A and B are shown apart, each in its own frame.
Chain A
């Protein structure tokens, strides 16, 4: 065989291989009036099942396929709109919660939706497997199903219905029993990524690194819904890419601030593009300085107060968030009016006060003007958390604290802060999920084992605060429980286990032909049944 022959063969072989391995989905689309909505997605969740993984990245896609018992609403009673449940009620002793379910609902495979599905989801998935449900349904003992459309949750200990109600949108995605019952390991089942639900859209296709495609559910229970024929999530990992794709009309919508805040002023002036700042009220992210109380300087309340005084919240809101955020007063955000208490002690921006407090605490400046040095770990998840890290370093320098920033990727940050406690200060973006007991009290409660992300790993311990949290967890009376959380907020503000700096919702940018955007407080992670193009 001559060399020439060889090279030609190699080339030929190579090219057939190339063509064979890029087989394309051959689908023809009927372009009905409903139309197609193409949205940007910046991540590809590994497990798409919202019943197991209650996170916004998963909900963003799966909430269109799998529905919860109720969704958040601007005008509904108790801030809720019914979905798979039409009404609900908790018993006075906190031991029962009854849900009356919607009738005439079918799964995407044609099977009827019944109370057995709810019982299965609650007992086999939410309680044992779900990251948030494990907490909310910790004392769930059984789910009785007296008929096909009634589910009665029985608890071994009093469980406040206020908590369950507030948790409904995030933790109660119902999955079909007949699909998952036979799986040996539900958590790792491949069916988690071939979701069957009751939602307005059916899962159609996933091309890793390229797109997810959902198609209209013709048999959806909502009359005349959904309005769209198809939703395509186009994977755009680089955040700078979404703005360009929107302007080039390759995508029609980018949620979760995929268009960087710094680009909003410009893009809002582009014809045919609308910027929405509503629709994230129930998904409030909080900008928090986590403190390692094992450091002797930081164990001193005066030092923590000094740090709180050193942070110019207006600068953070106006320069880092460009106004798309609110300064925090405490650990419960303003977006949770049911619990929010504005009368907590606050720490105004005052460098002199901060310096005086540090002098008082006995940390005087050395020849370089430095009192002591700290290791600062900004969470890498958002550009704003990193920028705030840069700002905090400068703010601390003004009061004589030398902060060295440590940049880690997600996994390393996770390990350093929440497992190894190898930090002095960290910047974190926890989420407030409608009730302080879901993911907020964990930020300050003591006794949480190492390794739990977004929890108190700073070694802070306050018996009074722990007692308040525990009492609220078993207080059934709504007014009484709310009052306990107000005390909780005040105590957190007084003792400063962490410093709340700002709270923000995201921004959605869409082409102007997309209708009914941001019409509920969890819009990006709701079902989009009424969205039109």
Chain B
């Protein structure tokens, strides 16, 4: 709770929360505000923004409501970002913790795998992965996570290595705790904070990679995401620039918000770390 109050009191944290409030609210209330399928054709095509009260932000190439897309897109984009970060963190901290605790051959093998994933450009991997398994949101999430889990893995391993030599782990070993129990009860919680700080970068990156995949024609066609909206808007960039600018603003606000939030969180956690 203290962390939260510290977060709100830091200027970055507050700015982050304010910026994020809008997309998060949009994501939560998307179905209430626009109960219809945001992909449905609602009116004439290419209505410019602020010209028709029925479509405050205009319509796209097929006559779909841009505002509805923006609101529903917030939901999908945030979901993709959070899910990819969660998956990457889960895989990464698991592999890193196991490698750090086990040491020896297991560590060696796992770290080679980590390196293998690190030297393959993430977007390239995502591109190949989505082409192979087909473009759907879960596949896109997994593809993004595959390119992002190595950072958390390395960090987790390094933390574990430094923590495992500390007193409380040594004493846990002395009292005969199972290595796995040590890992999950003692080491992991302590290694987690810096790993969590990395997550903001992953969330922001995930939203952008999703956009790049949509640009390359590999987005999920059954869901609206901001990335897909921007990618679709680029074909009419000259005659209807608003189609890519509006979701772009959403993206900028979200990424900025996530960054500020993370910085605030970082600071709050750092203070806590020093005090404890």
Query: Which residues does A use to contact B, with CB under 8 Å?
Result: 239-240, 243, 260, 262-263, 265-266, 319-320, 378, 380, 383, 386-387, 389-391, 393-394, 397, 404-409, 412
In the complex the two chains form, what is the Cα distance from A412 to B134 in whole Å?
8
* CB atoms of A390 and B62 under 8 A apart: yes
Cα A515 to Cα B134 in complex, Å, equals 45
Cβ-defined contact, B238 with A266, below 8 A: yes
Give the distance in Å from the alpha carbon of A243 to the alpha carbon of B219 in the complex.
25
Most chain A CB within a 10 A radius of its CB, from B220, B221, B240: B221
29 contacts between A and B (CB under 8 A): A239-B235, A240-B235, A240-B237, A243-B238, A262-B235, A262-B236, A262-B240, A263-B235, A263-B238, A266-B239, A319-B45, A319-B61, A320-B62, A378-B221, A386-B217, A387-B62, A390-B39, A390-B62, A394-B37, A394-B40, A397-B37, A397-B40, A405-B222, A406-B221, A407-B219, A407-B220, A408-B134, A409-B131, A412-B134
CB <8 Å contact, A393 and B39: yes
1/0 per position for B216-238, CB-CB distance to A under 8 A? Answer: 01111110000000000011111
Residues of A close to B37: CB separation below 8 A: 394, 397
**Interface residue from A319, A406, A412 paired with B62 (Cβ < 8 Å):** A319
Q: How near does chain A come to B218, taking the closest CB pair, in angstroms?
A: 7
Q: B residues near A, CB below 8 A?
A: 37, 39-41, 45, 61-63, 131, 134-135, 217-222, 234-240
By a CB distance below 8 angstroms, the chain A residues around B236 are 260, 262-263
In angstroms, Cα B131 to Cα A336, docked, is 38
B62 touches A407 (CB 8 A): no
Q: How far is B239's CA from A243's CA once the two chains are assembled, in angstroms?
A: 12
Q: Provide the main secondary structure of the chain A interface.
A: helix
A319–B240 alpha-carbon span in the complex (Å): 15
Which residue of chain B lies nearest to A315 when distances are taken between CB atoms in the complex?
Answer: B41
> Bound complex: CA of A407 vs CA of B234, how far in Å?
19
Q: Which residue of A lies closest to B216 (CB)?
A: A409
B219 touches A265 (CB 8 A): no
In the bound complex, how far is the Cα of B238 from the Cα of A266, in angstroms? 8
Determine whether the beta carbon of A404 is less than 8 Å from that of B45. no
In Å, the complex CA distance between A412 and B139 comes to 15
Contact: A240 with B62, CB < 8 Å? no
Of all chain A residues, the one with the shortest Cβ separation from B127 is A409
Bound complex: CA of A380 vs CA of B130, how far in Å? 15
New A-B pairs, 10, CB < 8 Å, besides A383-B235, A386-B221, A387-B62: A265-B239, A266-B238, A319-B45, A319-B61, A390-B221, A391-B41, A394-B39, A407-B218, A407-B220, A409-B131
A-B pairs with lowest CB-CB distance, top 6: A405-B221, A407-B135, A266-B239, A262-B236, A407-B221, A260-B235
A393 CB to nearest B CB, Å: 7
CA distance A383 to B215 in the complex (A): 12
Q: Which residue of B lies closest to A380 (CB)?
A: B217
